[in-house]
Amino acid sequence: MNYRLFFQRKINFGKRLIRLHHSNVLLFLVLSITGFILFSSTFRSLFPSVRVWIRDIHIWVGVLLCLPLLFYLPKMKQHVKTLQKKNNNRINLYFIFMILILLIFSGLLLTYHRLFPPIVSSFSLFIHDLATWFGVPYAIYHSITRSQWFKMVVKTKQPEKRLQEPIIIDDQNPIYRRRTFLKVLSGSIIAIAFLPSMTKWLRAYLPAAGPTETLTDGNRLSPLPLPSANSSPPIGGGKKGEFRYYTVTEIPRLTNENWSFTLNGLVKQPKHYNWSEFVKLQRDVQVSDFHCVTGWSVYDITWEGIPLKKLLQDSVIKKEAKYVKFYSADGVYTDTLSLTQAMQDDIMVAVLLDGKLINQNNGRPVRLIVPKMYAYKSVKWLNRIELIKDDHIGYWEERGYSTDAWVNNS
């Protein structure tokens, strides 16, 4: 009787586990898809207006995933006990559990990124990405090799009948060999499918191995700006980390003919420069960090460019001017700073990065940098600055990003 009771409990537990599995599979799928969309650069330009929604869905589904986990946690000990003789299943359980814990904790830190200095977000994003790069392929592998379909392929003969029986497997059994072969095969296919994007992601964290790729090589206006002594070799010792290249438009094709730089609006001396005039302007060099609100950062970048403060002062600002609006040559992207914010010493209209031309995808020939704020303020392909009276809502702020872009550097 005792035995039967135990058996009964085991079955119920098993059933509950299966149900738990099905809901988790669905949640995990939604998380993978929304996560992929958030990660992908392509999607950024395709559906910018739903980006913030997708982020919120991703966060809330992540929270939802914690619930079944909380129900499961008290029963975990019992579950592990039932797996005492199944080493593989136990390892599988521990692995998935570890991945989930990593994803949840790093996800929490990323959600509350404002409370922490950017180094915490960078680290959390690394962990979140890493756990995803292992977790998603593993989840795919797991669901394939545990599927009825896989078991049927393994036991090609009489699938219907034999499925009912428990699989008895030993080394002599041809099923064992076929199963191992198919497992290795599906594992390899999945690994090969994920490896290229995974190594590309990982490279950003490795010490720079040779010149990093440039997607495109246009926008080389002539004459080339010559780096000053502080810039080349860079006094910051070279940037640490890689930019994730983000754009909401096509990269604008800029030439000496179609590029010009304008500073106008509520100023007494509006400016208009063509490229050869612009490169003659006095430049400064500074070392600063670059933080995207999604969590990645690049450290110790040596920028060479014109301090924004200097440009603004030279144009003699009128009393009514309260905001500074920045325009991109892409014709779409804009952002604003209040005049007080814009007067910070470290804001720069940059033309060189570590003594070299900024990559075209990172804003060549000219980009704004606002080191103390999230990088959505740092307009790429900058070609116009306008002083205005009333606030202007920038591109991403209009689509849900916070108008308070200060990085918590406490």
Ligand X SMILES: Nc1nc2c(c(=O)[nH]1)N[C@H]1C(S)=C(S)[C@@H](COP(=O)(O)O)O[C@H]1N2
Which residue ranges make up the site for ligand X (CB under 6 A)? 243-248, 292, 328, 330, 333, 362-363, 375-376, 378-381, 396
From Mo ion, ligand X, none, which one binds at residue 383 (CB under 5 to 8 Å depending on kind)?
Answer: none
Should residue 292 be labelled a site residue for Mo ion when binding is judged by CB under 5 A?
Answer: yes
SS3 307: strand
Q: Count the neighbouring beta carbons within 10 Å of the beta carbon of residue 7.
A: 10
Closer of 278 and 395 to Mo ion (Cβ): 395
Closer of 227 and 363 to ligand X (Cβ): 363
Should residue 401 be labelled a site residue for Mo ion when binding is judged by CB under 5 A?
Answer: no
Should residue 387 be labelled a site residue for Mo ion when binding is judged by CB under 5 A?
Answer: no
From ligand X, Mo ion, none, which one binds at residue 28 (CB under 5 to 8 Å depending on kind)?
Answer: none
What contacts 392, CB < 8 A, 6 or more positions away?
Answer: 323, 325, 334, 336
Q: Which amino acid is at 343?
A: M
- In angstroms, the CA 284 to CA 290 distance is 18
SS3 385: strand
Q: What is the largest CA-CA distance in the chain?
A: 95
From Mo ion, ligand X, none, which one binds at residue 247 (CB under 5 to 8 Å depending on kind)?
Answer: ligand X
Should residue 405 be labelled a site residue for Mo ion when binding is judged by CB under 5 A?
Answer: no
From Mo ion, ligand X, none, which one binds at residue 194 (CB under 5 to 8 Å depending on kind)?
Answer: none
Q: Is there a cis peptide before residue 233, judged by omega within 30 degrees of 0?
A: yes
Closer of 135 and 236 to ligand X (Cβ): 236
From ligand X, Mo ion, none, which one binds at residue 24 (CB under 5 to 8 Å depending on kind)?
Answer: none
Locus of tokens 């420069």: 273
Say if residues 273 and 260 touch (Cβ distance below 8 Å). Answer: yes
Closer of 58 and 179 to ligand X (Cβ): 58
User: Residue 43 has which token pair?
Assistant: 């999607």
Using alpha carbons, select from 337, 334, 340, 221 the residue that is nearest to residue 273. 221
Should residue 379 be labelled a site residue for Mo ion when binding is judged by CB under 5 A?
Answer: no
Should residue 376 be labelled a site residue for Mo ion when binding is judged by CB under 5 A?
Answer: yes
How many residues touch Mo ion under the rule CB under 5 A: the total is 3
Site for Mo ion in 331-370 (CB under 5 A): none
Closer of 248 and 281 to ligand X (Cβ): 248
User: Which string of b and e fits 70-98 if b means at least 16 CB within 10 Å?
Assistant: eeeeeeeeeeeeeeeeeeeeeebeeebee
From ligand X, Mo ion, none, which one binds at residue 327 (CB under 5 to 8 Å depending on kind)?
Answer: none
Nearest approach in angstroms of CB 179 to ligand X is: 46
Closer of 342 and 375 to Mo ion (Cβ): 375
Question: CB under 5 A: which stretch of 13-21, 31-39, 284-292, 360-368 binds Mo ion?
Answer: 284-292
Q: Which residue is nearest to Mo ion (CB)?
A: 292
The dihedral through the CA atoms of 100, 106, 109, 113 has a sign that is negative
* β-bridge mates for residue 301, sequence order: 288
Q: What backbone phi and psi angles, to 5 degrees, belong to 20?
A: -55, -45
- In angstroms, the CA 334 to CA 392 distance is 9
From ligand X, Mo ion, none, which one binds at residue 243 (CB under 5 to 8 Å depending on kind)?
Answer: ligand X
* Interface ranges with Mo ion (CB under 5 A): 292, 375-376
